[in-house]
Amino acid sequence: MTAATLATRPATPDDAAAMADIYNEGIVDRIATFETNPRSAADLAGWFDGKHPIVAVVDQGGQVVGYAATFSYADRCCYAGIAEFSVYVRRSHRGQGVGALAMNALITEATKAGFWKLLSRVFVENKASLGLMRSLGFREVGVHEKHGKLDGVWRDVVAVERVIEANLG
């Protein structure tokens, strides 16, 4: 499997079950999220609000092998153009360019949707994700110490952000 045999497209609520499976792998791995309870397709279907882009990466058979999603950053109108994001890749497809495909597609869709900045937080131990973010032009803003507990242990996260130049006037 190579990036050349994969495609990106806007995700739909029909993808929620596959996306939940991928997200649940991330929960089990304990390196990508503070969440500990598995998510269902119904949980992820709630992400599709018509405003925040979500993209899927699919293999030649149409199976979702990764995704990237945006979420509301804050309710204040001055932050309307900022979106939080997450990116997850099916365990069997990690290290094959899926995350980069998902993020590049998400950046394109977020720009079209009028967002001017994307931001997220990445566990300091998640070197693969931090490397991906750097390769895509995200800057590391700093470390949030003891940002949350996972399995009773305080974890630090790196804040990352990227300004989407096309939406700056």
pLDDT in tens, 85-137: 999 999 999 999 999 999 999 999 999 999 999 999 999 999 999 999 999 99
Q: How many CB atoms lie within 10 A of CB 81?
A: 16
Look at the alpha carbons of 149, 151, 155, 158 in this order and tell me if their dihedral is positive or negative.
negative
Q: Using the 8-state DSSP alphabet, how is residue 105 labeled?
A: H
CATH, domain 3-167, list 3.40.605.10, 3.40.50.300, 3.40.630.30, 1.10.760.10 = 3.40.630.30
Which two tokens mark 25?
């792998």
In this predicted structure, what is the pLDDT of residue 4? 72
Detail the DSSP E strand segments found in the chain: 7-10, 54-58, 64-72, 82-89, 117-123, 139-150, 153-163
The residues near 7 (Cβ < 8 Å, ≥ 6 apart) are: 57, 58
Reply yes or no on whether the pLDDT at 82 is more than 70.
Answer: yes
What is the chain's mean pLDDT, rounded? 95
Query: What pTM was computed for the model?
Result: 0.94
Query: What does the angle CA 149 – CA 154 – CA 156 come to, to the nearest 5 degrees?
Result: 105
Among candidate residues 12, 39, 13, the one with its CA nearest the CA of residue 27: 39
- What percentage of the chain carries pLDDT values higher than 70? 96
How many Å apart are CA 14 and CA 54, to the nearest integer?
Answer: 12
Residues present in the chain in total: 169
Is the alpha carbon torsion for 107, 95, 154, 36 positive or negative? positive
Token pair for residue 156? Answer: 């630090």
Each domain of the chain, given as residue ranges in start order, spans: 3-167
Per-residue b/e over 7-35, b at no fewer than 16 CB within 10 Å? ebeebeeebbebbbbbbbbbbeebebbee
